[in-house]
Amino acid sequence: MTDKQTVDASAAPLWWKEIFPAGARKGFYRREGGLTLTFIDRESARLVVTIEAEPGAQGASRGDRVIDPILSARGWSHLIVQFADSRDAADRVRLTLDALWQDGLFDRVTQIDMLGIGAGATVLLALDGRFAATRKVAICPTAVPRLWPEGAGPVTLMTDGPMGSGPVETALPVGSMLLRLPAGSDPLARLHAAELLDEIIGGGIEGTLDRDSFDALVADLGPDPTQERPEVKPATDHPDHAWPRERGNVWMLENRDGVLRYLSDRWNGRVIGFEERNGKTLAQTPPVMPGIIAIGDACGLPRPLDERYPWHVFDENLTPDAPDFAARSHGVLLARTLDAAGDALPGVIALDVPQAGSTPADFHSDAPLSRTLEARLEQAVSQAASHGRNLHVDRVSLGLCAGAPSLSAEAVQAVYRDVILRLGRLVPERTGQTSAPVFVLTQAAGSRSDGRAGAILAEAGLEADFPVSKVVIAGPAYPHALMPDMPATADPAERLLMDEREAEAVATLQRGERWFCPSLRLATYSANRITAAFTSLAPLVLDDGPHGFRVDGAADAPRILSAELIDGDRILIECDGPLDGISARLAYAWGWTTPRDGPCTANHGAVRDSWERPSMVRPGRTLHRNALAGVVPIWPADRVGAA
């Protein structure tokens, strides 16, 4: 048995790209099967599984925000399972938990407890199979099973109905306990406001809570002081004093609590729901608003958007008037993808913070750019709340230090590290979301004449340098054309294609799947032949045209004559002389210089994998997962074996 074990990338769990920031909150976040899964791994032998409706869904609670601190104080790991649709949710939750069991998530756990809140408690009590016997704490379920699952274990059931209504303790599984909360709205919020959650939830899970102590704790529990519940006025079919501000036909007009809601065909003749409040008109959308942030050099280039989704994609003031920069482009791409699938469109807040020719000083925590971003993010959170929405920033598009091409890869990497770690903390703090956003970028390619910028190699290694952050390199910029007469600025239509590929990479991660581009990992030589091995998700393809390889770092290095694909992850390179005794590196799509005024950057390459998808925004164009630019040492084959 060897002392060291290695794992091939293809064997890594599907959620390895969705891992939390480093530190005490290791784990993953992903969406699959209509569920949102958040795993906070505290390396504990005890795991608590919480089941609840997603924020904003019917029967939702604030459990994901208030329960985890209780478990964190005890050092317990936490798996949060949220569903948006309660129909067949119990089956979907059971199948998902079974899959996690098969994946080994529970292998080191010796104690599993389960907690359900509201509609989540109803799903929890209906679980059958391997989790039926697990001890459960259910808070105010919307329904209690008449027939309990076979082998159901003991339940600590808390209800807020009056005495004589609802279940009786004798109808619960053996060993169960029925506890009654004072009737009222949102019992979880009231327990939280009264600072009783730790004793009640913690004690319920630990099994130390008894009826007498519970009754004493909740005896004086009053209404939730943190929530004002204004009287709901009935809708009026024909309001006398209100009419929509915007043009267009109007149907089913409703005036409730100062908010106008109606159907209209003002959006290019499409009939959708609108709402007006606080002087602004938005489409009627779900209560969670995805947020998109774009920072740096590439984000400030206007994109040629043929549809702007003006009723769905906004700036921090909930207006559609911001320029068509990167964040808005991502928002439009998200809406367009959902629209094409026939799914409901969310409202999206897009925040672009451009800085052309940026340097490390632009990204310090006290720099104007950073202060601007914080202020705009706070405004976005406030405006979303004023319209009954919660902001959840799901991605940050980055492109840093293009104005400092002479910086070393290490220096550029330090800038990225600082920005990613800082925003990974700042965004959840400001929005209240429980997970960091995905950080996505397109690898830089240098200029039309010089491809030696350190940022190129720094960005190539970001995924490996942040194994516990959600960082994804969507692809390289070298295949894309530059603007005429500009040394390094991408053509706007080409930049839109790069946005589309970034959006595809983020969506792939959010589906719980993997995304990474082919990357040069090893080069070996024998006589005058070099074998270049790549790490790739799919079999390699070597397109026609210049291959992009060069031998770097030795003045007497032989010249490359040809490159040929020999299998799914290796390319054979023929040189005009042997490499024996030469200390050199193999570069792909990096380090090229040229005096020619070509359409693209000096760096170029023909390697990609077999993944492809027709572009939504550029008919006739195809998205590819091109290989990242990179450099590796060239080793003698007899020293390291076959590549």
The predicted model gives 389-409 an average pLDDT of: 95
Greater confidence, 5 or 142? 142
Sign of the C-alpha dihedral computed for residues 313, 436, 9 and 570 taken in this order: positive
CB 106 within 8 A of CB 47: yes
Count of residues in the chain: 643
- Give me the pLDDT at residue 72, please: 84
The predicted model gives 221-233 an average pLDDT of: 45
User: HSE (CB half, 13 Å, CA atoms) of 405?
Assistant: 14
Confidence of residue 65 (pLDDT cuts 50, 70, 90): low
Greater confidence, 358 or 195? 358
Sign of the C-alpha dihedral computed for residues 355, 361, 365 and 368 taken in this order: negative
The partner residues of 47 in beta bridges, in order of sequence, read: 77, 112
What does CATH list as the number for 290-510?
3.40.50.1110
pTM for this model (two decimals): 0.64
- Give me the pLDDT at residue 553, please: 85
Q: How many CB atoms lie within 10 A of CB 545?
A: 9
| Angstrom distance (rounded) from CA 436 to CA 399 | 18
Residue 251 pLDDT > 60, yes or no?
A: yes
Name the DSSP letter for residue 201.
Answer: I
Residue type, position 279, single letter = G
Nearest by Cα to 289 from 237, 355, 335, 231: 335
Q: How many CB atoms lie within 10 A of CB 335?
A: 24
- Give me the pLDDT at residue 19, please: 36
- What are the tens digits of pLDDT across the range 68-118? 888 888 889 989 898 877 767 888 898 899 989 988 889 888 999 999 888
Nearest by Cα to 267 from 291, 287, 285, 286: 285
Residue 359 pLDDT > 70, yes or no?
A: yes
Residue 365 pLDDT > 60, yes or no?
A: yes
What does CATH list as the number for 33-218?
3.40.50.1820
What is the three-class DSSP state of 212? Answer: helix
Which stretches of 107-258 are assigned E, i.e. beta strand? Answer: 111-117, 136-139, 155-159, 177-180, 250-256
Greater confidence, 51 or 22? 51
- Give me the pLDDT at residue 469, please: 60
- Tell me the helix, strand and coil percentages in the chain, rounded to 5: 25, 30, 45
Q: Which residue has the tokens 């491809």?
A: 451
- What are the tens digits of pLDDT across the range 417-433? 999 999 999 999 999 99
The predicted model gives 131-159 an average pLDDT of: 85
- What are the tens digits of pLDDT across the range 466-478? 765 689 999 999 9
- Give me the pLDDT at residue 292, please: 98
Q: Which residue has the tokens 């938990």?
A: 97
- The rounded percent of the chain whose pLDDT value lies above 70 is 86
DSSP-assigned states of every residue in 411-424: HHHHHHHHHHHHHH
The predicted model gives 535-553 an average pLDDT of: 96
Q: Is 521 exposed, middle or buried (0-12, 13-18, 19+ CB in 10 A)?
A: middle
Residue 326 pLDDT > 90, yes or no?
A: yes
The predicted model gives 501-520 an average pLDDT of: 94
- What are the tens digits of pLDDT across the range 447-471? 999 999 999 999 998 988 776 568 9
Confidence of residue 9 (pLDDT cuts 50, 70, 90): very low
